[in-house]
Amino acid sequence: MRRAMAAASLVALLLPAAMPAGAGVFDDTEARKEIMRIRDAYGQRLDRLEAGSQAQLELSNQLESMKSEIAKLRGQVEVLTYKLDSIEKRQKDFYVDLDNRLRQIETRAQPAAAKPVDPAAEARDYQAALDLLKAGKYAEAGEGFEKFTQAYPASSFLPSANFWAGSAWYQAREVARAGDYYRKVETQWPDDARAPDALLGLANSQQAMGDVKGARSSLEALVSRYPESSAAQMAKQRLGKK
């Protein structure tokens, strides 16, 4: 209705100008043709304008929808990042707590040392290296544990120190050095509680060095030797076993 009224108004305005000079009035047929031509031209222009407005409206709606989706995705990423950080922190706290418990057991079970050592210094040096690892200073922690193994070769903490040295060097991207320490744990102390995790760490180090065959061999050895360990369950998943 609005378009028809607008067209009629325009026709009324333009009709006198469309008459040839000196003419009186159009005959009825010519007038009708001219009116229809003007109305059609005006209607087509209105159609184009309305189509353009509709396209702009749809584009605006799409942009708003995309903004909303991006905001949702950003929120999901933040939640997942927080969860991952929490998992990593809990895992680190778990290993540190396990280490402290094992240290207590190893201390009680240790026989008399051939050479007298300062227990306070031994505990202090070990804890200093462990604190560096907890603080994320991986290269410094690796050096600290290496020095500890050299300074206290008969220490009951030796399996732990070698395991943490491997972990520190792996985090520092020194995967070859990490592999050496992990291998040392699983060969020299196969009955230690960390031996399964050491084999898993060795496989990770070998994988990082591109030794796919060696990594698979270590994973298979882990499943075979320590089938009930949590590390073995992870190895099974990587090997595609149930």
| pLDDT tens digits for range 1-13 | 545 454 445 445 4
Nearest to 185 by CA among 172, 173, 170: 170
- On whether the CB atoms of residues 236 and 242 are closer than 8 A, the answer is yes
Distance CA 35, CA 145 (A): 97
Q: What pLDDT is stored for residue 112 in this prediction? A: 47
- Residue 64 phi, psi (nearest 5): -65, -40
What pLDDT, on a 0 to 100 scale, did the predictor assign at position 113? 46
- Going by C-alpha positions, the residue among 221, 215, 155 that lies closest to residue 190 is 221
Task: Give the residue ranges of the chain where pLDDT is below 50.
Answer: 2, 4, 6-8, 10-11, 13-15, 17-26, 112-113
**128: which residues sit within 8 A by CB, 6+ positions away?**
144
All structural domains of the chain? 2-70 (no CATH), 110-239 (1.25.40.10)
- Whole-number pLDDT of residue 33: 77
d(CA 159, CA 195): 9
Query: 119-134 vs 28-109: helix axis angle to the nearest 10?
Result: 170
Instruction: Write down the pLDDT at residue 91.
Output: 63
Q: Measured between alpha carbons, how far is 179 from 187 in angstroms, rounded to an integer?
A: 12
